[in-house]
């Protein structure tokens, strides 16, 4: 996406993220998609990315959320 200023990582919408991923990952095969950076709105795009690519998507934020849920599960 060409973003070089950290605070601008929150500018792309989830739709922008999905479109970018589709463009850059077209024709590639993978089992999991990891989208990094806690300021990036990838956790919001996660369902659409999973639908678009048919693979599990893990983001920095979803990894933390999942870990907290597991840690404090009854």
- Look at residue 49 in the predicted model and tell me its pLDDT: 97
Range of the domain at 46: 30-74
Work out the mean pLDDT of the chain and round it to a whole number: 93
Q: pLDDT per residue over 30-42, tens digit each?
A: 999 999 888 889 9
The answer to whether position 4 is within a domain reads no
Q: What is the DSSP string of 4-72?
A: -SGGGGG-S-HHHHHHHHHHHHTT---SEEEE--TTSTHHHHHHHHHHHHSSEEEEHHHHHHHHHHHHT
- What is the number of structural domains in the chain? 1
| Position 6 confidence tier, pLDDT thresholds 50, 70, 90 | confident
User: Is residue 21 in a domain?
Assistant: no
pLDDT (average), residues 24-52: 94
Has this prediction a pTM greater than 0.75?
Answer: yes
- Look at residue 73 and tell me if it is in a domain: yes
Is 45 within the bounds of a domain? yes
Residue 29, class by beta-carbon neighbours within 10 Å (0-12 exposed, 13-18 middle, 19+ buried)? exposed
Name the DSSP letter for residue 2: -
Give a yes or no: residue 68 inside a domain: yes
Q: Is 60 inside a domain boundary?
A: yes
Tell me, yes or no, whether 15 lies in a domain. Answer: no
């Amino acid at each position: 996406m060409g973003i070089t200023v950290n605070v601008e990582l929150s500018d792309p919408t989830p739709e922008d993220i999905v479109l970018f991923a589709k463009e850059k990952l077209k024709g590639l095969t993978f089992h999991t998609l990891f989208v990094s950076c806690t300021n990036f709105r990838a956790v919001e795009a996660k369902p659409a990315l999973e639908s678009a690519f048919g693979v599990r998507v893990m983001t920095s934020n979803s990894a933390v959320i999942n870990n907290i849920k597991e840690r404090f599960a009854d």
